[in-house]
Structure 1
Amino acid sequence: MEYLTTSFTSYLNQIDFSHLLQKCLISAIVLIVVVISLKITYGVFDRIFDGEKAGLEPREARRIITLNRVTKTATRASIWTLASLIILGQFINVGSLLAVAGVGTLAIGFAAQGIVEDVMSGFVIVFENQFSVGDYVIIDETHYGIVETIGIRTTSIREFNGGLFIIHNGKIDRLINYSKGHVKAIVDVGFAYEEDINKVTEILEEICKDLYENQPDLFNLRPEIQGVTRLDPSAVNIRIVCDEDISNRFMAENTLRQRIKEVFDEKGIEIPYNKTVIYSRESIKKMHQKS
């Protein structure tokens, strides 16, 4: 460590401040080139990784957006590193400085193992398509939400309570991704035992057909009636299922429930609910008198 300190001190003493105005002008030009280069490369990446291209499935669009962000991050880091070396090269011997830095890298290599692990894990996550920005995931069975960003070192999950959970990529060893493929939107419909089950089934079939035909963006596939799934003490339960993307699941379930309630009210189908009936002594006497 003493050797490294002495070496860096000696190189700092060798900083060349001659022709300072010229070097500052070159540094300014380099910075301008960096800004222009970043804008150009960002524009190219936006064209290559266009997540809003027509005809893309939601899953593929999220993957393209993730690749766009990760590629921009890596490119930005590379360009700024190169620009920093060019600017430093005007004042000091960068080759010798990098040699000394290489010795220092060996000294702190063990301490940087976690950083290397995070970076490598980040690239593996992106290129193996384990999950993408916008996916609904559960990490370590305790943290669940929507993936907001995937960085080189960390991943950010926006939990449903509003909190932003940030985890190092190298620490992600158990993950459930609910956005790969479709998930089941499930709605259980309860109705009174007095109702005709065939009539109720026909009404539900009409509702499913109507939603599928009039809301194709929400229902890519027609909801299916699985039949009677439970006989509760006060209700017969029929289950309706539909394959949905995770982003549309809750909206599809809410739409189904609302439409079923509206149609049941129109058709006079009773949906059971808890009732409390209170009898007074006078009402009991009147009932006995009538009987």
Structure 2
Amino acid sequence: MHRPLQVLGYLMLAIVLRFVLHKLIARFTQRTASESARGPLLLRPLRDRAPATLKSSILAERRRQRAKTIGSVLESGVSVVILAWFVLSVLDVIGINVTPFIASAGIVGVALGFGAQNLVRDFLSGIFMLLEDQYGVGDIVDLGEATGTVESVGLRVTTVRDINGTVWYCRNGEVLRVGNMSQGFAVAVLDLPVAHTANLDEACAVAERATLAVVASGDFEDDLLGAPEMLGVNAVSADTVTIRITVKTRPGRQWAVQRRVHREILQAFDDAGVKAPYPQGRQGGMQSDMTV
């Protein structure tokens, strides 16, 4: 009579233990940024690399997805451990030797590990990626074959939308390196080609003045993190001398700054008479020779 009571007691204990632990996990993962500026409690001990320029809604969604995914892993782990403990305890109460079952479970685990190693690799990579916060919703990343904005992050797959609107589903286990363009700061790099016959000192001065004019306009006041840096001649080819100038910006804003500065420098070069590497006359001559 005592054996059914023991089994019932183990069952009740397993149910209560699972319920309590799942509630605790939910308590630590379901606090959103709207409830606390610091985000879910589960993420507070972990490093958060989210850029400060993200909108509050995107930042909240990023933290919610990260906490939800980690929480689901914890809940699944708790359920598996409690179920295994309950089954082994019941078998022991009934009087069945559990040692062969443990050995068989080990063999089955090894077989599943070999058979589903790609799936296991995806999940393990996803877990470490989430814990380290390598990227999240709203980040602009380069994952090798796919480059674009992260739309969702899961344990097995990361979804990225590129500049053409194409959605890429990237398996986490196949991501060998991540280039994140939304962390810390960014640099707008401008490579300016001029002709060999151009006055390089004048070209550098004109480009720097045009860049400083963009900075002084105030259009990118919140995006710029430092003064422009003229690096001078960066490369020389048979037809072109390339001048490089850089501007430190907030993450994700380097392209907007780059486009505006390029436009202003082009106009300044035209006004100052800085020669382009391919004069119109030469192009016309080449076209005439080809026509003949």
- What TM-score bracket applies, with the shorter chain setting the length? 0.5 to 0.7
Structure whose CA Rg is larger: 1
Distance in 2 between the 1:166 and 1:278 partners?
46
CA spacing shift, 1:233–1:219, aligned 2, 3 Å: same
Query: Is the CA contact (8 Å cut-off) linking 1:46 and 1:68 kept in structure 2?
Result: no
Name stretches of at least 5 consecutive residues in structure 1 with no aligned partner.
Answer: 1-37, 80-94, 281-291
- Give aligned-pair identity as a percent: 22
1:68 aligns with 2:68: no
- Alignment-derived partner of residue 129 in structure 1: 133
- Alignment-derived partner of residue 208 in structure 1: 211
Name stretches of at least 5 consecutive residues in structure 2 with no aligned partner.
Answer: 1-25, 40-50, 76-82, 89-100
1:93-147 CA deviation, whole Å, 9 max, x = no partner? Answer: xx9xx969xx9xx6986377766654444332112122222333333x4333332
- Alignment-derived partner of residue 20 in structure 1: none
Query: Is the CA contact (8 Å cut-off) linking 2:224 and 2:250 kept in structure 1?
Result: no
CA spacing shift, 1:48–1:168, aligned 2, 3 Å: farther
Deviation at 1:267, TM superposition (A): 3.1
Deviation at 1:259, TM superposition (A): 0.8
- Alignment-derived partner of residue 194 in structure 2: 191
Specify the code of the residue in structure 2 equivalent to 1:47.
Answer: E
1:48 aligns with 2:36: yes
Specify the code of the residue in structure 1 equivalent to 2:193.
Answer: G
- Alignment-derived partner of residue 270 in structure 1: 275
CA spacing shift, 1:128–1:160, aligned 2, 3 Å: same
Deviation at 1:279, TM superposition (A): 12
Specify the code of the residue in structure 2 equivalent to 1:260.
Answer: I
- Alignment-derived partner of residue 175 in structure 1: 177
- Alignment-derived partner of residue 156 in structure 1: 159
Deviation at 1:186, TM superposition (A): 1.9
Root mean square deviation of aligned Cα: 4.8
Deviates more, 1:112-121 or 1:176-185: 112-121
- Alignment-derived partner of residue 57 in structure 1: 52
Aligned ranges 1:42-121 → 2 under 5 Å: 44-48=32-36, 57-58=52-53, 65-72=61-68, 110=112, 118-121=122-125
Query: Is the CA contact (8 Å cut-off) linking 1:50 and 1:64 kept in structure 2?
Result: no
Query: Is the CA contact (8 Å cut-off) linking 2:195 and 2:240 kept in structure 1?
Result: yes
Distance in 2 between the 1:216 and 1:207 partners?
16
1:23-59 CA deviation, whole Å, 9 max, x = no partner? Answer: xxxxxxxxxxxxxxx9xx86744333679xxxx6238
SS state at 1:46 partner:
coil
TM, length-normalised to structure 1: 0.57
Query: Is the CA contact (8 Å cut-off) linking 2:186 and 2:253 kept in structure 1?
Result: no
CA spacing shift, 1:204–1:130, aligned 2, 3 Å: same
- Alignment-derived partner of residue 16 in structure 2: none
Deviation at 1:238, TM superposition (A): 1.5
Deviation at 1:150, TM superposition (A): 0.7
TM, length-normalised to structure 2: 0.57
Number of equivalenced pairs = 229
SS state at 1:276 partner:
helix
